[in-house]
């Protein structure tokens, strides 16, 4: 069946915000290979609006999880579709079971764990450090399909952009000003640079001519944003928006995104905003598959305990992030802001910029 036309395709990926965004190159390649197929995608409901406007998807299902009976109802619903092909780009047992119990004829399961649970197609075990977006694409490569690249994409509507414009205008942020979005949060404490250092960077950038700082965070990150703001002399604009396409539209109107390795970083990349990412325990090769020459820079410290990314959620040592200085981050931000004014003038050279 490999390479044969497919009428009904199911994609299940139950992961974080960034994982959802980097799924887009695989969906684009699937649509190009099977332009007439019905493509159904299941992702966590909290991230579903990011894919809601994708032209590559015929139906999007937001998975709420938690309830056994809710999952069972989803499986029953999926079985009625009688899918020819199912793809699980992340090797979680939960999504693999959903694929299997949905009676999908041909199943492709990511082989990162070395198990590829219930996969009917041989997906090669990826080498260590394989970029996550490339692992997704490896699933369709195992079917003999090719991608047109790993560029991620978000499809914002006119209304999304209008909401962003009104939000900024109501706060006196007119077009033409340099806006720097700073996101101090992350999915785990070990991935977070200190609030005090973020505040220092924000103040220094706010002193630069024409720079206005936006503090970006999820609704549940109020305490963290308040801590950063309380340490600042400047007055930032706080952005806490639950509708993620609206947040992406605000980031699109920024000159720079600055933050930890987190979901909003991938949103900024998806809308073409330059990014400066502060990396700690995660593998930057895996989670920063972006080019410095395109305005996406990661700051990483080469410490022995994080070789290949230790992946810790909590760390008492935290050298990997503690060694990253305010001056390094400010210097990287200023370089990327100059790029925003004149992309041809950027040269990234050695040091901590990677």
pLDDT along the chain (354 residues), means of 10: 75 94 97 96 96 98 85 94 93 85 91 76 84 93 92 97 96 85 92 96 91 95 97 96 96 97 95 94 86 91 74 81 94 89 43 40
pLDDT at 17: 95
pLDDT at 123: 87
Q: How many helices (H) and strands (E) does the chain have?
A: 13, 11
Q: Which strand (E) or helix (H) includes residue 202?
A: helix 195-207
Q: Phi-psi region for residue 199, left (φ > 0), alpha (ψ -120 to 50) or beta?
A: alpha
Strand partners, 87: 11, 108
Closest CA to 183 of 120, 250, 84: 250
Model pTM?
0.90
pLDDT at 308: 62
pLDDT at 293: 84
SS3 234: coil
Q: Alpha-carbon torsion 134, 137, 141, 147, what sign?
A: negative
Tokens of 38: 């019905």
Q: Is 183 exposed, middle or buried (0-12, 13-18, 19+ CB in 10 A)?
A: buried
pLDDT at 342: 60
What residue ranges define each of the domains in the chain, with the CATH number in brackets? 8-141 (3.40.50.2000), 160-345 (3.40.50.2000)
pLDDT at 345: 40
Tokens of 99: 């694929």
Closest CA to 166 of 174, 176, 178: 174
Contact call for residues 297 and 336 (beta carbons, < 8 A):
yes
């Amino acid at each position: 069946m490999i390479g044969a036309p497919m009428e009904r395709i199911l994609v299940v990926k139950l992961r974080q915000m960034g994982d959802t965004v980097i799924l887009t190159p695989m969906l684009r390649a699937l649509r190009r290979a099977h332009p007439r197929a019905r493509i159904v995608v299941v992702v966590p409901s909290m991230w579903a609006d990011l894919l809601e406007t994708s032209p590559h998807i015929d139906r999007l299902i937001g998975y709420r999880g938690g309830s056994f009976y809710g999952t069972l109802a989803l499986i029953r619903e999926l079985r009625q579709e009688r899918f020819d092909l199912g793809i699980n780009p992340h090797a979680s047992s939960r999504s693999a079971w959903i694929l299997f119990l949905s009676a999908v004829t041909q199943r492709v399961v990511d082989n990162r764990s070395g198990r590829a649970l219930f996969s009917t197609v041989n997906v090669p075990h990826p080498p260590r450090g394989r970029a996550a977006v490339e692992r997704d694409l490896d699933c369709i490569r195992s079917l003999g399909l090719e991608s047109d690249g790993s560029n991620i994409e978000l499809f914002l509507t006119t209304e999304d952009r209008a909401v962003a414009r009104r939000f900024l205008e109501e706060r006196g942020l007119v077009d033409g000003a340099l806006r720097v979005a700073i996101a101090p949060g992350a999915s785990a404490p070990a991935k977070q640079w200190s609030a005090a250092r973020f505040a220092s960077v924000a103040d220094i950038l706010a002193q630069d001519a024409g720079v206005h700082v936006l503090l970006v965070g999820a609704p549940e990150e109020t305490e963290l944003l308040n801590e950063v703001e309380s340490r600042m002399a400047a007055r930032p604009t706080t952005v806490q928006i639950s509708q993620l396409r609206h947040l992406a539209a605000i980031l699109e109107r920024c000159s720079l995104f600055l933050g930890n390795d987190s979901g909003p970083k991938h949103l900024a990349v998806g809308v073409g905003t330059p990014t400066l990412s502060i990396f700690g325990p995660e593998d930057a090769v895996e989670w920063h598959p972006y080019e410095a020459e395109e305005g996406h820079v990661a700051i990483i410290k080469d410490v022995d305990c994080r070789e290949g990314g230790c992946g810790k959620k909590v760390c008492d040592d935290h050298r990997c992030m503690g060694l990253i200085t305010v001056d390094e981050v400010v210097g990287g931000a200023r370089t990327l802001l100059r790029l925003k004014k004149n992309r041809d003038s950027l040269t990234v050279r050695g040091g901590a910029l990677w």
